[in-house]
């Protein structure tokens, strides 16, 4: 079964001061995103769909997409304020993208197989992708999974961050 990695990379980086999904962090200029795609490839993902803004499409293709063109099938989806369900209009003055749910909604037309979703500026580690691939290969119709991390391990000493807390029922298997 084919697995797709959906990478949410349309963020504006307004608090950061730029497109952090494109900034190098590794010894050879790797981005955080590079580590995620590399780990997904090793886990068996065969396609990556980047959800980006059209405003930086050329820059993204030339700095990120070109790195993977010969190793994995690469596609792009555009998140914009105008891409909304029928009957929904954005409030006047809105400039920022809508966020995670909207970004994934924008990819709905191109993602039809089992998939995982990551943020371009978060590090997940190889084990996360291996676990997702192991779950997704046999998964079918309506099965979902989430890789979770202990909250104390996700906090930064360099300032506040927003995190969600996931609670699971007593019958869920926690590993």
| Predicted local confidence at residue 116, as pLDDT | 92
| Predicted local confidence at residue 77, as pLDDT | 95
Residue 76: phi and psi, rounded to 5, are -125, 140
| Predicted local confidence at residue 175, as pLDDT | 43
Q: Are 50 and 65 in contact (CB under 8 A)?
A: yes
For residues 108 and 54, what is the distance between their CA atoms, to the nearest angstrom? 17
**DSSP-derived pairing of the beta strands 4-8 and 73-78:** unpaired
| Predicted local confidence at residue 139, as pLDDT | 73
Specify the pTM: 0.83
Q: Are 147 and 131 in contact (CB under 8 A)?
A: yes
| Predicted local confidence at residue 13, as pLDDT | 57
**Mean pLDDT by groups of 10 residues along the chain of 175 residues:** 89 59 82 93 95 90 89 92 80 76 90 90 92 86 76 74 67 50
- pLDDT 10s digits, 12-25: 555 555 566 777 78
| Predicted local confidence at residue 99, as pLDDT | 79
For residues 110 and 122, what is the distance between their CA atoms, to the nearest angstrom? 23
Q: Are 119 and 97 in contact (CB under 8 A)?
A: no
């Amino acid at each position: 079964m084919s697995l797709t990695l959906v990478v949410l990379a349309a963020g504006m980086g307004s608090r950061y001061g730029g497109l952090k999904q494109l900034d190098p962090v590794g010894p050879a200029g790797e981005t955080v995103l590079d580590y995620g795609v590399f780990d997904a490839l090793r886990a068996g993902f065969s396609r990556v769909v980047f959800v980006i803004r059209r405003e930086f499409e050329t820059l993204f293709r030339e700095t990120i997409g070109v790195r993977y063109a010969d190793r994995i099938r690469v596609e792009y989806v555009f998140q914009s304020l105008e891409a909304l369900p029928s009957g929904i209009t954005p409030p006047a003055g809105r400039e920022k993208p809508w966020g995670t749910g909207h970004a994934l909604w924008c990819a709905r037309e191109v993602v039809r197989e089992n998939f995982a979703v990551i943020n371009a500026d978060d590090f997940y580690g190889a084990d996360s992708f291996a676990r997702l691939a192991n779950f997704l290969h046999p998964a079918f119709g309506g099965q979902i999974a989430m890789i979770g991390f202990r909250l104390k391990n996700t906090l930064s000493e360099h300032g506040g961050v927003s995190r969600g807390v996931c609670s699971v029922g007593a019958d869920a298997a926690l590993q």
